[in-house]
Amino acid sequence: MTDQNPAESLEEQIDQWRSTLLRRSAMSTVEVAKLEGQLREKIADLTRGGLTTDEAFLVAVKRLGSVDPVAREFARERTDRVWKQLAVIPSDSSERSAAARNEALVAFGCAVLAGVAIKLPSFCGIKTSDDGAEVFYFRNASLFVLPCLIGYFVWKRRCALRTLGWMAAAFGVAALVANLPGFGRIRAFGELTALHLPIALWLAVGIAYTGGRWSQVSARMDFIRFSGELFIRYVLIALGGGVLCAFMALTFKSIGIDIGPWFASWLIPCGAAGAVVVASWLVEAKQGVMENMAPMLTHLFTPLFAAMLVAFLGTLLWSGRGVAIEREMLIGFDLLLVVVLGLLLYAISARDPQAPPGVFDGVQVVLVVGALLADAVALWAIGARISEFGFSPNRVAALGENVILLVNLAWSAVLYVRFLIGRGSFQNLERWQTAYMPVYAMWAAIVVIVFPPVFRWIAA
């Protein structure tokens, strides 16, 4: 497709959509005009995000298709036409093809740069750390990979120089904190730094991804969708890479050559770093012309996780047992809550905010309430662990993260219930979730920057 459809301009497509609704639907002229305003806003947001105008029109029409049967039928017919055009026209235009090639080359270059960056310390003979290269890379991996990913989005979105300056300063501070002897290099804070630094820096990726539109709810919701798609595609690439490595090892072993050391020192670290950019490019290349995988998986796993949480809470009450307070159990429990929150976020991002409440919304409420109660149980277990063993960086970090999750889930449950009973709009839930995103990054930054000096001062 091109920025202008071969047969009709964007305005002509909107005219067709408007006339179809006025002629075939029960909507009034005022209602159609109001809906047209929403359509134009969505098209503008999508084009600013990188889609062409006809792609943006298709996606916007599909998102508004649930408000009226005629609008839904128009969206279905338009989708069929676009897919036929894609099947018939091998190359929409030389300009679009050249732009796609350029983007692929830039993405590939950033991926190669990420793979080189991850090996840069060994190239330069830099002593990684007193604890060994594994600890150093575990702590600094995000500092090598995320700047390359941000570089790709900076090129694509044409970010302002002021924004680039702030992001460069953030990464400079992060590099110092992660490697100064009094902060991340202390063994007690190394794991906390490695786990929380990527969360804090992911906010910078979001700012680069939205290209100056971070203040808009729709832009932050697009970033949530992107994050989910990126995770899924990265896992698929990793699985494919694992199969490739297995066959490669088997093939070389047949001639008596062990390439295991080469895997460990080159292929796995460089491939893992570059795959982040490649997966991001794949998400960008496929947006708008095919269904995203994250929403489909969300609809599949949300009922399963909701049933699992209900069964867990019921068993907990029936048996009268408490949650094990071992550190590994609490970490696993927190990961479960993060997965549940991810399911909620991606279900929200995939839902048409204008659609009325449905059965799946009820399942979502069960999931959120179940996660809220499970989080309360986890907080009780963390409190018991603190009362028994005292405060430590890990326990306080876990306590803060669970409190943040509790606040998010609690107000999400309130807003979702209000939507179900008709006393609130779905947009309120969207605004709450997207506005709450920086809280996680802020807490992660506090753990990385504030915890080391504070707990060293307490220990002294």
Q: Which amino acid is at 24?
A: R
Q: Taking 90 as the threshold, does the pLDDT of residue 136 lie above it?
A: no
- Which comes out higher in pLDDT, residue 283 or 350? 283
Strongest mean pLDDT among 206-215, 421-430, 439-448: 439-448
- Which comes out higher in pLDDT, residue 46 or 215? 215
Rounded CA-CA distance 275/270 in Å is 8
Q: Identify the residue whose tokens are 């600094």.
A: 140
pLDDT of res. 94? 60
Q: Taking 90 as the threshold, does the pLDDT of residue 82 lie above it?
A: no
pLDDT of res. 33? 75
Computed over every residue of the chain, the mean pLDDT equals 79
Residues 88-93: what's their mean pLDDT?
A: 44
Strongest mean pLDDT among 93-97, 132-136, 399-403: 399-403
pLDDT of res. 4? 44
Q: Is the dihedral of CA 438, 430, 60, 17 positive or negative?
A: negative
